[in-house]
Structure 1
Amino acid sequence: MYDVQFLIENSNLPGPRGNLKLLYDFSKNASEDIIDKCLEYIKPDVRNSPEEFVAMCGVLSFSTYNKNNLKKVIPFLKRTANHGSWRVREAVAIAIQEIFSDKVDTALDGLRSLIQGNDIERRAVVAGLCEPKLLNNEDVNKKILDILLELSKPFSHDNKLDEESTALRKALGYGWSVVVSKGPENGKIIFEELFELHGKHINWIIKENLKKNRLQKMDPEWVKQCLLKM
């Protein structure tokens, strides 16, 4: 059984990349007591430190442990999605992937409070849902595409973006391509609705997705036609 000291000593932080294998292994085996200890490390100033990794473990393991109680998990993720650490925020996206991996179709409504939240919370939704392992059902894929369209529409302007909006735009700049490539029939139709919107940020989202190899391999002629529409 892992303890906090083991997580600290094996975090790979400070450094460019935390120990993701340990993160996943821990989240699948952690007890409630050790999870509570990890949650104590979710503090404002933990960036690029071993303690930041412990905080990530707390986020993912808490979410996994309570995945059948979305009324408890979703408010927690909503709060934690706003943390100052990008790694803690990334743990929120990973948590969304893990807790919804076997029940995406029935659980999407649970994310509504994040979808209706601020741009950092919305970014967590995009990063969490645009994951190939979640995209094996045509109906689920369509629902996620509809969410992406909903979150893209507010970018139909030319105003300067703040840091939060830029983070969401960046996620949308690749997320569309992941879902479209996994469900081209609905994906191409819904993606093309972006062309009915206007503004440099919408154009950026379209172009960034069309650059992705997964779309180039899926349907190069369609990509070419989309670029001509630009």
Structure 2
Amino acid sequence: MSKTFLDEEISELSIEELLDNSNLPGPRANLELLHQFMYFGTPEQVESIQNSHEEFGVMCGVARTCMLKRDRLQELVIELKNYANHSSWRVREAVCIGLQEVAKGIGTPPVLDAIKRWSNGNDFEKRAFVATLCEPALLKDSQTNMKILDALGEITSGFESVTSKLDVGQTSLRKALGYCWSVAIVYEPEYGKELFEKMIKNMLYKSDNKHVLWIIKENLKKKRLIKLDAQWVENMSQLL
């Protein structure tokens, strides 16, 4: 069992203590400890722990770097790009966790603007863009929400030409799109439902792509959408 630390103790932890309490290997990393380190880790710890190349260490270093460089977003995003493409899904997720925490502090629009380039990047970068921004705590502004929904539409349309078996990046992105649409729609219902319905009709009458169909069906299963508008979900399901 991992040890519980006070916030003020985090800056005194050795790399060994941090890693020993990571809960890894295991099904779930110690996210409470990661969040503590994200706020209380020192720059010296970040450098040492990332140099260890241990998965949890890299996660903590990524998350803390986000907070240390939150006032230098362009520099931060350049640095995070490699981690958004990391071979470890946990490290890729740490990028999203860190950026979400930054957005909670400075607002979603600056973070959206800073990572917009990722929406046109490779599949891992698109996944980082989608998973970072489709977070309930960040979807507070209607104009920003609509921009995120537009980006979801553009990213999803990229699957229309994909007919072969998905690679790791495509699989990761498709999985994110399979729930992120429902999150964004709940916080911008009128615009979101209209955009989603257009995507369904386009898929039915033009592309008929199995990956787009999967994304649509996965979102229509989500309880948050059914709670929002059960009749609309039923109508969309019947179209399929």
Q: TM-score, normalised by structure 2?
A: 0.88
Structure 1 unaligned residues grouped into runs of 5+: 44-50
Question: After TM superposition, where is structure 1 displaced by more than 6 Å over at least 4 residues in a row?
Answer: none
Q: Which has the higher helix share?
A: 2
Structure 2 unaligned residues grouped into runs of 5+: 1-10
Q: After superposition, give the CA deviation of every residue in 1:92-128 in whole Å (9 maximum; x if it has no partner).
A: 1212211222321233121122112110111111111
When structure 1 is superposed on structure 2, of 198-207 and 217-226 the one drifting more is 198-207
> In the alignment, which residue of structure 2 is the partner of 1:14?
25
Contact residue 157 and residue 200 of structure 1 kept, 8 A:
no
Letter in 1 for 2:216: I
Percentage identity across aligned positions? Answer: 44
Letter in 2 for 1:181: V
> In the alignment, which residue of structure 2 is the partner of 1:70?
73
Structure 1 residue matching 2:121: 3-state secondary structure: coil
Determine the C-alpha separation between the residues in 2 that align with 1:107 and 1:14.
Answer: 32
> In the alignment, which residue of structure 1 is the partner of 2:192?
187
Structure 2 residue matching 1:84: 3-state secondary structure: coil
Structure 1 residue 155 displacement after superposition: 0.9
Q: TM-score, normalised by structure 1?
A: 0.92
Structure 1 residue 158 displacement after superposition: 5.2
Q: After superposition, give the CA deviation of every residue in 1:148-173 in whole Å (9 maximum; x if it has no partner).
A: 11110111135122221111011100
Q: Check 1:32–1:208 CA distance in 2 against 1; reply closer, same or farther (3 A cut).
A: same
Letter in 2 for 1:36: E
Structure 1 segment 49-88 matched on structure 2, within 5 A: 51-88=54-91
Determine the C-alpha separation between the residues in 1 that align with 2:120 and 2:67.
Answer: 23
> In the alignment, which residue of structure 2 is the partner of 1:90?
93
Contact residue 119 and residue 165 of structure 1 kept, 8 A:
yes
> In the alignment, which residue of structure 2 is the partner of 1:47?
none
- Residue 28, structure 1, aligned to residue 39, structure 2: yes
Determine the C-alpha separation between the residues in 2 that align with 1:120 and 1:149.
Answer: 17
- Residue 38, structure 1, aligned to residue 43, structure 2: no
